[in-house]
Structure formats: C-alpha cells, structure tokens
Amino acid sequence: MAKKPAVVVPLDGSEIALKALGAAQAVAKIMDAILHVVHVAEGKISEDRLLERLKIDRLEVGTCLLKQIAGNPVEAVLGFATDIGAKMIILSTHGWTYNRAHLLGATGTGILQGAAIPVLAVRPDMKKMPHPDWRPKKMLCPINGSLSAIAGMKEIFELAGSLGTSVDVLNVAVHGGKRPTGVGTMATSEYQDYPHRDIQAWAKEFIRRCCNSKPPSVETKMFQRAGDPVKAILAFSEEHKADLIALTWQGQLEPGRAKTVKGLLKVTELPVLVTKT
C-alpha cells in the first residue's frame, strides 16, 4: 500500500497563525495527505491542552496528527518536515508578533527562506481566507524567462497535478529595468509594442523546454504582459480569476532580492506557493 503524502502546518497558538489552518486542511484533503499540525514549545503538553492552546475547535480532514516539538521554531519545523518527508509546508505569514508594517514574521521568514520543499503562504488579512473545502481551480505561475525559473516549472507542474489545478504561465516583460540574462534565458522583447510573433516564438520554446515534465492532466496556457511585474501579476490574477499564485525563487529575502515575491506577499489577496530553485 502506497504511503500517504504529508503536509505540515505550524501553529503558535495565535489567531493570526490559525488563519492558515483552512488552507492546510483543504490541501491535505485534495492530496489525500496526512495533515501534521505542529506546535513548538518546551515541556510536555497534553493533547487536549494543546488543542485548546492552538484554538482548534475541530478539524475537517481525514487524517490529522498533532505534534509538539521543541527547539528553535524555524529549525524545529524545518527539521520535522524533513524527517517525515513532507510535500509542503502551509503557514500564515505572521503569528503572535503580527505587525502589518512587516512583510513576514520572524518564523515565517526563516521557514520561507530555509525550506527545501514548497511553502504555501497565507496572508492573515486576506479578505477571503481559504476554508477546509477550498478547491483551487487555476494556478497562476509568473516567470521571467530565467533559467532558474524555467527549471522550477517541473515542480510547479507536479504541484498543479497534485492539487488538480490548471496552470496559467505568465511572462512579464519589464521595460527599462534589468532583464534576466545568461545563456539559455528566455526573456522576451523589452519593447511594449513587440510583434505578436514574439509571444508565439517564446511559447513554442517554453513548450519545448518545459512541457515534457507536465502531467497530461494539467491544462496549461501561456500569456505575456508588460510593465511592473507585481502590478501586472495582480491585474492578470484578477482578470483571469486565479485561485493561487505559484512562484519559483532562490530563497533570499535580503534587500534588493526577490522583489516580486516580496511585492506579492505584501498585497495579494491570494495564497502564494513558493518553490525554491
């Protein structure tokens, strides 16, 4: 009998962290996975007391395991996820130290940067939070044509297959800014009035490079927009009714890095799935 996949949701006992539980239950149900609810604390806590501390009234998922672990929260959660071979970590971008002025809490930052597996981040002030019966239909995957972004598409397609979503691939041409370079880069024209054949050629090359790894069940469409990446992605996601945004990145949030990831995490009304390349 095949082993069920595992997903992890870390909770610190705050109402803010609890915002991710609906999405975690939904993903676990879609993937037929075991949901591991993890809490980092010193000193043994009984299961009843732990449920009370985490403010969990009920869980709407087939198989759920409650786990208390000790140590540094970031290291403990990442270590636990590695030990059980988790497929995904699902978290709220903030916890007890919630401050709207900060992009992420300290634990969220550490997990996002340190995770070797996909992380689904949920902003706690989103107008419409994913609930346990959430069923995403359409995944928006913006890429910039760089080799690292293209390499990450294999995992994006696998995740789309596991979640049962289609994928809209969006290439955003940035005018006047730094464009991806290097051998093998697939950046399109830097001019806003590029000929229509430009996107056709780009799409053809994208299919040649990436779609051999795409599960047959994953419907994929390709689009191009121009301008500021964050604004273009947000406008496209609303226009095409995306349910979540999937991003490939290199796991670095230092100043000047991951501008698109940070820009989206700051304002998007959709869960953001990040995979490291």
189 sits in the region (left: phi over 0; alpha: psi -120 to 50; else beta) called beta
131 occurs within a structural domain: no
**Domain of 24, in residue numbers:** 6-122
Among the listed residues 231, 249, 219, 253, the one whose alpha carbon sits nearest the alpha carbon of residue 172: 231
Domain final residue, candidates 68, 97, 122: 122
d(CA 153, CA 171): 13
Query: 185 or 171: which carries more pLDDT confidence?
Result: 171
Domain holding 232: CATH number?
3.40.50.620
Residue 215 lies in a domain: yes
Is 128 within the bounds of a domain?
A: no
Q: In terms of domains, do 84 and 153 share one?
A: no
The verdict on 261 and 161 lying in the same domain is: yes
What global pTM score does this model have? 0.88
- All residues at 6 or more sequence positions from 201 whose CB lies less than 8 Å from its CB, including other chains: none
When divided into structural domains, the chain yields a total of: 2
Region 206-219 average pLDDT: 75
Per-residue model confidence (pLDDT) at position 257: 83
pLDDT digits (tens, 9 = 90+) for 44-97: 999 899 999 999 988 877 788 999 999 999 999 999 999 999 999 999 998 876
Are 151 and 107 in a shared domain? no
Residue 132 lies in a domain: no
Residue 184 shares a structural domain with residue 63? no
Measured CA to CA in angstroms, residue 69 lies from 49, 100, 275 at distances of: 15, 28, 25
